[in-house]
Each structure stands twice: as C-alpha cells, then as structure tokens.
Amino acid sequence: MAILREGGNAVDAAIATAVTLTVVQPGSNDIGGDLFAQVWDGTSLYGLNGSGRTPQKLGLNVWQNATERTFGWLPVSVPGAPAGWRDLHERFGRLPFERLFADAIRYAEHGFPVSPVIAAGWARVNVPDLPECREWATVYGQRPGAGELFVSHEKARTLRLIAGSHAGEFYHGEIADALDAFARETGGLLTAQDMAAHTSEWVEPISASYRGYTVHELPPNGQGVAALQALALLDGLPEHGLHEQIEAMKLAFADTFAYVGDAPMPGLLEESYVDSRRKLIGPKAIEPVPGDPVRGGTVYLAAADGEGMMVSLIQSNYMGFGSFVVLPGYGFGLQNRGADLSDDPAHPNAAGPGKRPFHTIIPGFLSRDGVPVGPFGVMGGHMQPQGHLQVVLATVDGGLDPQAALAQPRWRWERGLHVFAEPELDTDGLAERGHRVEVTRERGGFGMGQAIWRLPSGGLVAGSEPRADGQAAAW
C-alpha cells in the first residue's frame, strides 16, 4: 500500500511485498528461492519464469548414488528470486529499485512480530544434522513465538547489496563468491559460474477455457498445466459434481507427474487428447495412470493498481525452510527445489546439469472475452492446481467473490483413491463411488490463497485466505 500511495504501480508493489516476505516469512520463501509471475500491463499478459537451474556438477550418476536428496546441498538449485525482482522492475517498474527494498530492510534490522501461523510452522521444524545446515540454528534457531520479534541484521545487509547492485552482487559479485566458497568448504556443487550463468525467462502463458472464462497459467517446468487440463476435462461435461472434479484432477496429475519437467510440454491440452481422457471419468473412482499425449513452503501475492496493471506472483523455498543450507554472514537460506528430480534418465525431470527442476508453484490469472478478471493463486505443494480448480469453480459456477471463493471448504487428492476433506465439505456419496475419504481439521494441507477480481464497473474486490495470516488491503 505504501508503494502504491507513493506513485508506484502494481509491479513495484508486488516486488516490494515479495522482498518483504523473505524477511517476515522465511520458512516459506527466502532470498535463496525462486519465483514465477504473470503481469497484465493493461493490454497484454506476460509470464516470467524466475526459476534457477541445477549446478553443472550435478550429473545423473551423482544423484543416483546420493543418500540424502531432500536436504543439504544436493537439491539446491540457483536462486532465481533476486533476478526475478530485477527483471520485473526493468520491464514494468516505475519507482527506483532501491526503494522497493526499504521496508524489508527496516523489518530485518528492527524486527517484526511473527504472525501465528508462521510461528506455529517455525516451531515444528526439524533441522537435518548436516554440516552445511548448521548455520540455520544461528540465523533461524531462536524459533520465535507468535508476537515475538525476529531480527536479522545479516539479511538486511544482503538486501542492501541486492538493491544497490540491481542483483549484480548476488549473481556476479560478493554473494556469488561467498556461496561458491561455502559450497567448496562443505561439499556443495554450486559454483560462482552457476550463479553467473543464471537468467530469468519471459514466457507465453498457456490457457484453457471453462464456461466462457479463460484460465491462464505458466508453461512447464511448473504444474499449472494440471489445473488447466482438469478444467478442460470438466468443461466438456454438461454438469459435474465433487466426484467428477476429483477424477478430472487425478487424471491431470497423472499426466503432469509423468510428462512435465524442463522440456517442451507434450499435447496435454490438445482437444482430441483431452476428449480421450474425459472418457475415463465414469461413475466410480479410478486409480489414475498417465495417457499418451505424445501420440495423441511457498508465498503467493496479488496486486492491482488504478491504471489497469495486475500482478500474480509466487515465490518459494519449496519444503518449508528449503534445503536448510544458510549462507554464513548473509542471513538467508537456499531452496531445495531439486528434491523432486528423478533418477530415471528417460523422465523429463531427470537429474542432470543445468536443469530447471519441476516446480509446484504456479501463479494464476483469470480473464473473460479477452478482458482481465484478475490474478489469483493458492500456495501449498500439489494442492496448488487443486486450489486453482476449486477457486475457479467457486467463482465461475458459484458466482462468489474472491473472499467467499477462498473461504469455501476444500478437498485434496493425495494418491490412488485417497481424498482428504475439510469438515464443512459435503462428501455424501463419495465413498459409495469408490473414494476413500478422510475428513481432517488440519487446515494447512488445503492451501493458502489470495485473489483480486476487477468488477465491470472498474472497481476491484480482493480476498485473502482464511487459513493463513494474509490480508486484503485497498485504498
């Protein structure tokens, strides 16, 4: 809000918020994470893939022979968030880049009271006993409770270096050199050359139609195609209920897990292929398997301004604090996005040098007849496309505003026939159709989202996830 009131646009506001979130919510995203964004500039929709690549030293044999693939150095890929902030600003920003860091730096230096959901997650963290993870205790080990202040002078200094150099010190200077040295000292593969080679990529968003609306996602290496394929499957049904929604999502996930990686996307959204997959949705729940299309810990934010610009942005460490590798002297941790790499050389997400790992984080955008409705997103691992699906259905079919759509009770498919549901959700009839339903009061697994819709009058209406610590603010 401060950025907008100073004359900044929605991209300026989104960057400032994204930078600040690395300070106030480090257990979900950090300076060492990745980001993705969609930007409507008033005329066109643009996509930014701000994900980093694996180190050049990561050979498939190294991955196959490793005993620890989830935490520590092995799953670390080059952080893409700082370059993403810079590239968004260079193309769309208005205020000076350094101004966008000022509030985050102040929070880091003077502290901020930790919010309840974040504090609860922080308290549950189990730190791996690895040499490269020991700095985590120095930087984050105080585990502040709700309302307690968290201070990080080292992170403030790092943010100043990034702001003053437009991320140059991060990828080509002091910070890149420090990462290189720390990796060599503690057995990591990341090098200064890996950092220097990083670039963001401007991409064309992909889309699918549903009941006259168009849902836009980013192409792989993310899982946005899963939400699009599920919506396309449902769009071809004259009517659908909870059973059909779950079945469509399962089929879409089966294809996504089999075919999505750092490679061109096969024809998962081709009409003939979607038609063939839709025939698998019957009266009973099925165990999903991929088809053959070749032949046939995260934060999300949305911003909009009075000039028509709208931003959908998401950034993440992946699993909570990510790899738990924290760079000594600089106050930030690195993501573990490589944890999902495959040891199958034929898989598109196979481990290897210079690969962008499969990503769960996806920023969404909704339009109708070429006119933007607005940005939306639901963070939370593989709940994300399921959350996108459910928010779109609540909006398009239910006619709900963003807050009401985000507050609706949700379901979450896990594996096979197993489905989790919130207590308020009406699951009558699912068991009879073969679903194994487990009702749970643990809200964290059902995603945390935000959305902004533009009204026909030109006004804006926003909603923020009731399961988290977010808020909708306007002036």
Question: Left, alpha or beta for 380 (phi > 0: left; psi -120 to 50: alpha)?
Answer: left
Listed in sequence order, the residues at least 6 apart from 107 whose beta carbon sits closer than 8 Å to its beta carbon are 20, 23, 24
Three-state DSSP state, 188: coil
Which CATH code fits 203-298+361-464? Answer: 1.10.246.130
pLDDT at 165: 98
Summarize pLDDT for 80-137 with one digit per residue, the tens: 999 999 999 999 999 999 999 999 999 999 999 999 989 999 999 999 999 999 999 9
Distance between first and last Cα of the chain: 8
Give residue 296's pLDDT band: very low, low, confident or very high (50, 70, 90).
very low
- 445 vs 422: CA distance, rounded Å: 10
Please answer whether residues 152 and 331 qualify as being in contact, where contact means their C-beta atoms are separated by less than 8 angstroms. Answer: yes
Q: Which pLDDT belongs to residue 289?
A: 83
Is the confidence at residue 294, as pLDDT, over 70? Answer: no
CB neighbours of 239 closer than 8 A, spacing ≥ 6? none
Confidence bin at 266 (pLDDT 50/70/90): confident
Reported for 265-274, long-range contacts at CB under 8 A and 24+ positions apart, including other chains, are: 265/206, 265/219, 265/220, 265/225, 266/293, 266/294, 267/293, 267/294, 267/296, 268/225, 268/229, 268/293, 269/206, 269/208, 269/225, 269/228, 269/229, 269/232, 270/296, 272/296, 274/229, 274/232, 274/233, 274/236
- So what's the pLDDT on residue 292? 65
Residue range 38-43: mean pLDDT, rounded: 96
pLDDT, tens only, 390-419: 999 999 999 999 999 999 999 999 889 999
Query: pLDDT band for position 295 (50/70/90)?
Result: very low
Given a cut of 70, is residue 224 above it in pLDDT?
yes
Q: What percent of the chain has pLDDT over 90?
A: 87
Average pLDDT over residues 177-181: 98
In sequence order, the 6+-apart residues with CB closer than 8 A to the CB of 61 are none
Q: Which of the residue ranges 211-215, 311-315, 411-415 would you say has the lowest mean pLDDT?
A: 411-415
pLDDT over threshold 80, residue 264: no
Give the C-alpha separation, 256 to 217, whole Å: 14
Confidence band, pLDDT 50/70/90 cuts, at residue 263: confident
What is the rounded CA–CA span in Å between residue 208 and residue 416?
A: 26
Query: What is the reported pLDDT for 144?
Result: 95
Determine the pLDDT at residue 125. Answer: 93
Q: Kindly state the DSSP code that residue 132 receives in the 8-state scheme.
A: G
Percent of the chain residues topping a pLDDT of 70:
99
The pLDDT-based confidence of 293 (bands split at 50, 70, 90) is low
Round the average pLDDT of the chain to a whole number and report it. Answer: 94
Q: Quick one: how far is CA 380 from the chain centroid?
A: 8
For the cut 90, the answer to whether the pLDDT of residue 275 exceeds it is yes
pLDDT of amino acid 265: 74
Residue 308: predicted pLDDT: 94
| Domain positions in the chain | 2-32+50-196+320-340, 203-298+361-464
Q: What confidence score (pLDDT) does residue 445 get?
A: 87
